[in-house]
Amino acid sequence: MPKKEMNIDLEIFQILNEDGRIANTREMPQLKDDDIKRMYESMVLARVFDDIALKLQREGRMLTYASLMGQEASQIGSALALEDEDWFVPSYRENGVFITRGFPMETLYLYWAGDERGMKIPDGMNALPVSIPVGSQVPHAVGIALANKLTEKKSVAVVYFGDGATSKGDFHEGLDFAGVFQVPCVFICQNNQWAISVPVKKQTAAETIAQKAIAYGIDGARVDGNDVFAVYKVVKGAIEKARVGKGPTLIECYTYRMENHTTADDWKKYRDPSEVEWWKHRDPIERLKKYMEDEGIWNEAYDKEVWDNAKAQVSEAVKKFESVPPPSPLDMFTNIYEELPPEIEEQRKDFE
């Protein structure tokens, strides 16, 4: 039987190293200075959005929030590789992808403040709402990809999930189906080393997440998830490959969750502070900044402008979301059924 050609690389692919130097000149994607600035500015905006969310939660102005701090290169590098027609299928940690794709920040804050109207996807934006049940979004993305294939749309479904999600049946079902039907789907696993308090070593006996692709006969790649150039290049390549009918890819972005799992967690109970410290030196924003400085496209004045601008945008978003009138309690009856069953209609009337 002929051997199936599969493209799996289990080495961590890197372009921009920890010192902000290009480790791999041949692999550097063709980016204009403005593209690189956009990467930097988007990562800073995501960081400010995140920082303010954590503060608002402490003040009781936001509910449980899942921080993306440390994962900006994985999120922004991948988000910028999507075209508008592509579908974005998120878990709960992809705030950076939402923002980079143009989802209004005030609406995203509304969601994290516990208001379900915050997950109303703007018309024309190809995205599913946040999925809280771990891994459940993977088969949804595969279904979208199959529909795109059957209707001959040039749209690719890009689904995000964590290392912990790869232990869920949904992940395996999704990858198996995607391999069999060769659907245009890209699977992005942000391996941030932890699933709440469970480290990857206890999550799976597999040495890498990327190698799980082998079992399903699809391509797999392992990328330095704190290197925005490497993430952008690998995700873009996988999307373009899927778009021309050459099948799905599983991408493992090797990164780190700098913050608590959510604001309802305390990492000091289960992580060694030296581990967090080690990753601090691999901060994706600092890394890109060093590169830009060497290239002469970063200086203090530009940086101040970038951070000030991000803070102003975020503060405007906070003002807007906090001035949204509260929802009517009757809303709980409106979005479940197209037509209310008689007994629930009766309850609604009583409630009214």
122 binds, among Mg ion, ligand TPP, none (CB under 5 to 8 A by kind): none
- Minimum CB separation of residue 92 from ligand TPP in Å reads 7
Mark 182-221 with x for binding to Mg ion (rule: CB under 5 A) and - for no binding. ----------x--x--------------------------
Helical H segments across 59-104, by residue range: 72-79, 95-100
**Residue among 56, 227, 280, 254 at smallest CA distance from 271:** 280
Tokens (6 digits) for 141: 């993305």
User: Scanning residues 148 to 167, which ones bind Mg ion (CB under 5 A)?
Assistant: 162-163
216 binds, among Mg ion, ligand TPP, none (CB under 5 to 8 A by kind): none
Smaller CB distance to Mg ion: residue 103 or 256? 256
36 binds, among ligand TPP, Mg ion, none (CB under 5 to 8 A by kind): none
Dihedral sign, Cα of residue 334, residue 335, residue 337, residue 341: negative
Smaller CB distance to ligand TPP: residue 196 or 214? 196
Smaller CB distance to Mg ion: residue 68 or 141? 68
CA atoms in the 13 A half-sphere facing the CB of 222: 17
Instruction: Answer yes or no: 216 catalytic.
Output: no
236 binds, among Mg ion, ligand TPP, none (CB under 5 to 8 A by kind): none
What are the backbone dihedrals phi and psi of residue 80, each rounded to the nearest 5 degrees, phi first? Answer: -75, -10
Nearest 5 degrees, angle CA 20-CA 23-CA 29?
90
21, 58, 117, 270: which one is catalytic? 270
In whole angstroms, what is the distance from residue 100 CA to residue 95 CA? 9
In whole angstroms, what is the distance from residue 77 CA to residue 347 CA? 49
Q: Which residue lies nearest Mg ion, judged by its C-beta?
A: 162
Smaller CB distance to ligand TPP: residue 155 or 192? 192
Cβ neighbours of residue 84 closer than 8 Å, sequence gap 6 or more: 126
Q: Which residue lies nearest ligand TPP, judged by its C-beta?
A: 162
User: Scanning residues 212 to 271, which ones bind Mg ion (CB under 5 A)?
Assistant: none
Contacts with ligand TPP, residue ranges (CB under 6 A): 93, 132-134, 161-165, 192, 194-196, 257, 261
Dihedral sign, Cα of residue 335, residue 341, residue 342, residue 343: negative
Instruction: Answer yes or no: 21 catalytic.
Output: no
47, 261, 282, 287: which one is catalytic? 261
- Minimum CB separation of residue 32 from ligand TPP in Å reads 32
In whole angstroms, what is the distance from residue 105 CA to residue 62 CA? 14
Instruction: Answer yes or no: 261 catalytic.
Output: yes
- Minimum CB separation of residue 346 from ligand TPP in Å reads 34
Q: Is 198 left (phi over 0), alpha (psi -120 to 50) or beta?
A: beta
Report which DSSP code applies to 181.
H
- Minimum CB separation of residue 163 from Mg ion in Å reads 4
In whole angstroms, what is the distance from residue 84 CA to residue 108 CA? 19
Smaller CB distance to ligand TPP: residue 106 or 283? 283
Helix 33-58 × helix 105-112 angle, to 10° = 30
297 binds, among Mg ion, ligand TPP, none (CB under 5 to 8 A by kind): none
Summarize as ranges the residues that interact with Mg ion (CB under 5 A).
162-163, 192, 195
User: Which amino acids are annotated catalytic?
Assistant: 257, 261, 270
